[in-house]
Amino acid sequence: MSASAVTPAPTVGRPRAFDMEKALQKALEVFWRKGYEGASLPDLCEAMGINKPSLYAAFGNKEQLFLKTIELYENRPCAFFYPALEHATSYEVVKHMLCGAASTNADPDNPPGCVIVQGALACSESATFVKEALIAKRRAGEVALCTRLEQAKAEGDLPDHSDPAALARYILAVLQGMAVQATSGANCAELKQVAETVLAAWPGKRG
C-alpha cells in the first residue's frame, strides 16, 4: 500500500516533504502506547516529524488519523489474525491466532499489547466514536472466527455438540486477555504458555 493510495498525490503544488506511510507508522506507535486520548497532538507531531497544520492537511484530524493508523495496524506485515483463518483445521487456525498474538503483543520492537484493545477501552464522551469503531473491529474479528468455526463444524473438524459462537468468543477473550497481560509486562514466552494451555484443550482435530 503506497502513500498515494491513502491520499491521491497531487500533480501540482508544493510536494509533501514527508512520507505519509512512515508518518502513519510513527503515529501508530504513539496511539498504541498511549491510547487515543492519551496521545496528544504534540506527541504525535514530534513522533511523525511534522507539525500540526501538515498533520491536519494530510490526515484530517486526530480522529481520522487514529482510524487510519488502525487500518495500517490491521494491514501491516506482522498482522496475524485474518491470515490465520486460512489454515486447514480449526486447531491450526486458533494456534496461529494465539501464537501470533503472543509474538505481536510482546514484541520488544513494538509497544506492548494491542491497539485495538487498548486504544480506547474506557474514555471520555468525546472519544465515543473511536471507542465504538474499535468495538466494531473486535466484533468483526469474532464474527469472522465464528464463521470459520462453523465451517469447521460442518466439515466434522469440530464435534457436533460444539458451539462455534461460544468458542469464537472464548478465543477472542483469550486474545484480548493476552493483550492486557502484555501491557502488564508479560513476555512472549509467558504468553505462549497461555496459548499452549488453550490449545491443549481445543476440541478440534489436530494437525
Rounded Cα gap, residues 101 and 194, in angstroms: 11
CB 65 within 8 A of CB 27: yes
Q: Which residues 107-146 are close enough to bind a copy of itself by CB under 8 A?
A: 113, 115, 117-119, 121-124, 127, 135, 138-139
Would you count residue 12 as binding DNA (CB under 7 A)?
Answer: yes
Would you count residue 105 as binding a copy of itself (CB under 8 A)?
Answer: no
Q: Which listed residue (8, 13, 108, 185) binds a copy of itself by CB under 8 A?
A: 185
Q: Which listed residue (77, 124, 184, 207) binds DNA by CB under 7 A?
A: 124
Q: Which listed residue (3, 56, 123, 165) binds DNA by CB under 7 A?
A: 56
Binds 149: which of a copy of itself, DNA, none (CB < 5-8 Å by kind): none
In terms of phi and psi (left: phi > 0; alpha: psi -120 to 50; beta: otherwise), the region of 62 is alpha
Would you count residue 11 as binding DNA (CB under 7 A)?
Answer: yes
Rounded Cα gap, residues 117 and 135, in angstroms: 8
* Cβ partners under 8 Å of residue 175, min gap 6: 97, 98, 101, 114
CA torsion angle 34 133 138 116 (round to 10):
-20
Q: How many residues does the chain have?
A: 207
Residue ranges that bind a copy of itself, judged by CB under 8 A: 32-35, 37-40, 43, 113, 115, 117-119, 121-124, 127, 135, 138-139, 163, 165-167, 169-170, 172-181, 183-186, 190, 193-194, 196-198, 201
